[in-house]
């Protein structure tokens, strides 16, 4: 089962001091946090990962680094999710939401 989520990173983007969204930047599972204003990717550290709850039991998930990928792990029901598998690819994301539209408003 795969549920794509929009997950905001903790902390603001370096370039615009605005919210940043966690996305898969490449196949292979590399995760970045992309600025909502300009889409510029930034490095993701453990402190950027927000607390999430298990979708099955509602318990808090613990973040661990497994095989160079961050994993969210539920100690209660023993489930785990690789972070990249939860996230949309950034091109999908910006297509869906139209977030990356610096010229918006000038098309009328």
Work out which of 7, 19, 29, 37 binds Zn ion, going by CB under 5 A.
37
Detail the DSSP E strand segments found in the chain: 7-8, 20-24, 31-35, 41-42, 62-66, 69-74, 79-82
Binding span for Zn ion by CB under 5 A among 4-12, 21-29, 52-60, 100-108 = 52-60
Q: Is 15 left (phi over 0), alpha (psi -120 to 50) or beta?
A: alpha
Residues 6+ apart with CB under 8 A from 59: 53, 74, 75, 76, 77
Q: Is residue 75 at the binding interface for Zn ion, with CB under 5 A as the rule?
A: no
Binding span for Zn ion by CB under 5 A among 19-27, 45-53, 57-65, 87-95 = 57-65
Q: Is residue 19 at the binding interface for Zn ion, with CB under 5 A as the rule?
A: no
Binding span for Zn ion by CB under 5 A among 20-28, 32-40, 43-51, 90-98 = 32-40
Work out which of 5, 6, 15, 51 binds Zn ion, going by CB under 5 A.
15
């Amino acid at each position: 089962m795969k549920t794509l989520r929009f997950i905001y990173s903790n902390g603001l983007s370096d370039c615009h001091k605005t919210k940043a969204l966690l996305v898969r930047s490449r196949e292979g599972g590399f995760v970045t946090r992309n600025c909502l204003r300009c889409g510029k990717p930034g490095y993701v550290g453990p402190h950027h990962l927000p607390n999430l709850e298990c979708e099955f039991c509602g318990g808090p998930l613990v973040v661990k680094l497994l095989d160079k990928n961050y994993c969210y792990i539920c100690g209660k029901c023993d489930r785990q999710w690789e972070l990249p598998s939860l996230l949309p690819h950034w091109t999908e994301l910006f297509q869906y939401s139209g977030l990356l539209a610096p010229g918006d408003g000038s098309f009328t």
